[in-house]
Structures are given as C-alpha cells and as structure tokens.
Structure 1
Amino acid sequence: MTKEFEMIDIGEMSYFLGVEVKQMEDGIFMSQRKYAEQILSRFRMKDCNPVAIPAETSVGLRVDSNRKSVNLTLYKSMVGSLRISHASFDVFASDIFSKVDSSTP
C-alpha cells in the first residue's frame, strides 16, 4: 500500500470509533468498555447497579398513561448513545426501548 499511497506508521491501533483494540499473539480483542463508561458518566449513572440481563425477557412493554413528564431530549440522547453500541449484547434492550419511544407522542 505504501507504493500507492503516502503513509506513515503510527503503531498498532488501540482505539478506533469508540472501540478499544488489543492486538495479542492469540488474537485481536475488541471492547467498548471505555465508550460504555463515558455514557455512564455523561448521564450520571456511574453508581448504577449492573445486572446480567438488562430487562425482564418475559414482560411486554407498554405505555404508562399515568406517567410523569420526562425530558424527551435526554431520554432520546440516552437511547441513541446505547444504539451506537448496539453490537454489545448487554445493551440489546436499547433497541426495544427506542421502539416504544417512537410510538409515543
């Protein structure tokens, strides 16, 4: 490629588009831990309680007619941040929540 394009070697990739990359002898390992920690910090949730499954798998979601008013901009920003990291299995529920969000006024 250096024959076709002007390039410089800046070393092994360690972080790209929100993904940490570790190149080891037995493989390349990728993680979104840093991005997830940034999301938790941004939305003041660093002290939240993590769970193995982020939502009950047998409970259907529905709109609560007696709900309190919420900051939709903040909520959509949270869901959008999670959708970016949708490749992670531990945040798959963000897609489900965004579908409920899109059905509400």
Structure 2
Amino acid sequence: MQDEFEMSMMGELKFFLGLQIVQSDEGIKIHQTKYTKELLQKFKMEDAKPTKTPMHPSTTLGLDEDSLDVESMMY
C-alpha cells in the first residue's frame, strides 16, 4: 500500500473511524466499548442493568422475500 499511498507509521492501530481495534496472536477484534460507555454517560444510564441479546445464537438469518420489491434507487 505504501507504493500507492503516502503513509506514515504511527504505531499499532488502536482506533479507526470510531472503532476500537485489538490485535493479538489469535486475530483482530473490533468493538465499540468506548463509544457505548460514552453513550451511556451522555444519557445518564451508566447504572442501567445489562441484558442479553434476545436472539438465539444458533439462529440464522435469510432473505426476506417481501423486501425484494423495495425500490433501491430511492435510497
């Protein structure tokens, strides 16, 4: 990429476009913990109780056949 773009090495990537990035031997993890905590503080919800995602982890999502009629050029 350095051949095509002007770049400088500023150390390990930790934040990019509001995403937190953690690199390890196991792989790269991307999360938004900092953003979530800031939102909770903004709306004074730091003491709110966490809850699990209501969708079962083994559920797979498929195409919604009705949504195929949406006019995509409108968006």
Q: TM-score range by the shorter chain?
A: 0.5 to 0.7
Could you list the runs of 5+ residues in structure 1 that have no partner in the other structure?
A: 58-105
Please name the residue that 1:85 is paired with. none
Give distance in 1, aligned partners of 2:17 and 2:5.
Answer: 23
More helix by share: 1
* C-alpha deviation, 1:11, in angstroms: 1.6
Runs of 4+ in 1 over 2 A off after TM superposition: 1-6
**TM-score of the aligned structures, taking structure 1 as reference length:** 0.46
Higher relative contact order (CA 8 A, sep 6+): 1
Please name the residue that 1:42 is paired with. 42
SS in 2 for 1:7: coil
- How many residue pairs were aligned? 55
Please name the residue that 1:60 is paired with. none
**TM-score of the aligned structures, taking structure 2 as reference length:** 0.62
Over the aligned positions, Cα root-mean-square deviation in angstroms equals 1.8
Please name the residue that 1:9 is paired with. 9
More strand by share: 2
5 Å-filtered alignment, 1:1-105, equals: 1-53=1-53
* C-alpha deviation, 1:52, in angstroms: 1.4
